[in-house]
Amino acid sequence: MNLLIELLAFAVAIGVLVVVHEYGHYSVARLCGVKVLRFSIGFGKPLFQWVSPKTGTEWTIAALPLGGYVKMLDERETGGAPIPAEALPYAFNRQSVWRRFAIVAAGPIANFLLAIVLFALVFATGVTEPAAVVAAPAPNTPAALAGFDGGETIVAVRAENAGESERVRSWSDLRWKLLGAAFDHKRIVLSAKDGHGTSDFQLDLRGITEKEVDDDFMSHLGFEPGGGKLTVAGVQPDSAAQKAGLAIGDRLRAVDGIPTDNATAFIAYVKSHAGVPVMLRVERGGQAAGTLEDVRIVPQSQRDDATGQQIGRIGAELATQVPSIDVRYGPVESLQLGARRTWDLAVYSVRMFGRMIVGEASLKNLSGPVTIADYAGKSARLGPSAFLSFLALVSISLGVLNLLPIPVLDGGHLLYYLVEAVTGKVVSDRWQLVLQRAGLACIVALSAIALFNDLARLIHF
């Protein structure tokens, strides 16, 4: 059943993204007066064909659905057959350089516009997200140095020297605001409230490198969702947790006197205490509320496969229930946030790709169709908001990928047109052929790496 959901979600995702991308090319081509011969979803043998009596365009659904194309009237692609003189004004190659530029750029732009609309729908319809409550930060992290103790709810953020504050509505909202400030290497002020009132915390993000801006970005800063309940969800046989008497349903309140409400921070503490006794403050599930018990446990020492070092493990599965909040925006604000989120993600994607080129980021970040199908299925099972957000994210990635200055992609053609606009000369067929082969080699290499990463994630090698 899960496989069927993944395949259906993947088919819907690819279908929507390809149709939107190609319709961007098609609509601007028609607007510029170019004759469109075929609009194809997929490649290979046609499964369905229909010719529009009004425009003469052949609409096709082909057997291989991984992509699509728009074929326009072009003197270079007739196989030597002449085009009637009355049809020449409608040929793509007869258009001005800026019209050709607009037609090619319309595909990626359509993907960005789709992402804006999808994000706006998510923001407008509302989504349940973790509240911006922080857990106790790890020592010497920017959050700890800023003065956070844990349990504070962040409500606003502003630049250090600016008076206007931006409201923080949720944990996701906080993450995006910190991400933007880290990219700009700013010092910011976070306003947070606790039981004693509202206080300001100065957070210095000037020393954050782009290499640290990854999936664990918030952890690097010392921010983890807090204010929730950390409970034992499972106990492995013959583990330190079983020997200490931990049971399913136990709520972990503190470790060595330090309050704990976040699994990541708790696991990190246990890892650093291999073979060293720690004292857990536990609230038993079957006891009256507020009844606490101290449990002494010695984390077992095990070798970490990733680092080769000895780390501590207690053999317990943990579950965190964090406070959540329903976030909903008005129509205008939703569009503004959708545009901002699309811009931020596009810039992040470009910077990440640049880091991979110069070796500052791992090529393991590249994903192929298997991973996309997996995430499509997972997001579909989580609900409409998650699936729409996933679609928006992939749409942005598709737009950015197509704008890369690689021949055979839209960005490569745009580069040709820029050279033509500056020099007044069309890039020669010989150079286009050489660059096209180089671009094709790049695409094949990237596809191979992405497929290898997919297989590595699938079979864990």
316 shares a domain with 256 = yes
**What pTM did the predictor assign?**
0.77
Residue 188 in domain: yes
Q: Is the pLDDT confidence value at 333 over 80?
A: yes
Share the mean pLDDT of the chain. Answer: 84
**pLDDT tens track for 136-173:** 888 888 888 888 988 889 999 988 776 678 888 888 88
Interval 371-379 mean pLDDT: 68
pLDDT, mean of residues 246-271: 87
Q: Is the pLDDT of residue 194 over 70?
A: yes
User: For the residues 291-297, what does the mean pLDDT come to?
Assistant: 88
Q: What pLDDT was estimated at residue 32?
A: 93
Predicted confidence (pLDDT) at residue 4 exceeds the cutoff of 80: no
Q: What is the number of residues in the chain?
A: 461
pLDDT for res 117: 96
pLDDT at 319 over 70: yes
Q: Catalytic residue among 22, 129, 152, 283, which?
A: 22
Q: Kindly state whether residues 315 and 233 are assigned to the same domain.
A: yes
Domain span holding position 244: 229-323
Are residues 243 and 204 located together in one domain of the fold? no
Please give the pLDDT value at position 31.
94
Q: Residue 116's pLDDT band (boundaries 50, 70, 90)?
A: very high
297: in domain: yes
236 or 437, greater pLDDT = 236
The stretch 315-325 carries a mean pLDDT of: 85
Q: For position 458, what pLDDT does the model report?
A: 60
Higher pLDDT pick, 356 / 331: 331
Q: Which of 221, 244, 265 is the last residue of a domain?
A: 221
DSSP of 201-258, one letter per residue?
Answer: EEEE-TT--GGG-STTHHHHHT--B-SSEEEEEEE-TTSHHHHHT--TTPEEEEETTE
Q: How many domains does the chain have?
A: 2
Is residue 163 domain-shared with residue 206, that is, in the same domain?
yes
User: Contact 407/41 with Cβ under 8 angstroms?
Assistant: no
Residue 196 has pLDDT above 80, yes or no: yes
pLDDT above 90: residue 36: yes
Domain assignment of residue 71, yes or no: no
Percentage above 90 pLDDT, the chain = 25
Does residue 317 lie in a domain region? Answer: yes
- pLDDT over 80 (residue 371): no
Phi, psi of 49 (to 5 degrees): -140, 140
- State whether 313 and 270 are in the same domain: yes
* Residue 233 shares a structural domain with residue 260: yes
Instruction: Report the CATH number at residue 316.
Output: 2.30.42.10
**Is residue 156 within 8 Å of residue 129, measured between CB atoms?**
no
- Does residue 387 surpass a pLDDT of 90? no
- The predicted model gives 376-389 an average pLDDT of 76
**Share of the chain residues as helix, strand and coil, in percent rounded to the nearest 5:** 50, 25, 30
Tell whether 198 is covered by a domain: yes
Residue 286 has pLDDT above 60, yes or no: no
Task: Say yes or no: 150 and 236 in one domain.
Answer: no
State in Å, rounded, how far the first CA of the chain is from the last one: 26
Could you tell me the CA-to-CA distances from 25 to 28, 166, 203 in Å, in that order? 6, 38, 45
For residues 238 and 276, membership in a common domain is answered with yes
Q: Specify whether 217 is located in the same domain as 260.
A: no
pLDDT of residue 447: 74
Query: 395 falls in which pLDDT band (50, 70, 90)?
Result: very high
Among the candidates 172, 204, 221, a domain finishes at 221
Q: Is residue 275 part of a domain?
A: yes
In a domain, 382, yes or no: no
Domain membership flag for residue 307: yes
> What is the pLDDT, as a whole number, of residue 437?
83
The confidence score (pLDDT) of residue 120 equals 94
Same domain? For 280 and 204 the reply is: no
What pLDDT was estimated at residue 454? 64
- The mean-pLDDT minimum among 2-16, 83-97, 122-136, 180-194 falls in 2-16
Neighbours of 448 (CB within 10 A): 12
| Domain finish residue from 323, 341, 357 | 323
Q: Are residues 212 and 246 in the same domain?
A: no
What percent of the chain stands above pLDDT 70? 88
Question: What beta strand segments (E) does 284-399 contain?
Answer: 292-297, 300-303, 310-313, 316-321, 324-327
Active site residue 22: yes
How does DSSP classify residue 84? Answer: P
Q: Are residues 247 and 297 in the same domain?
A: yes
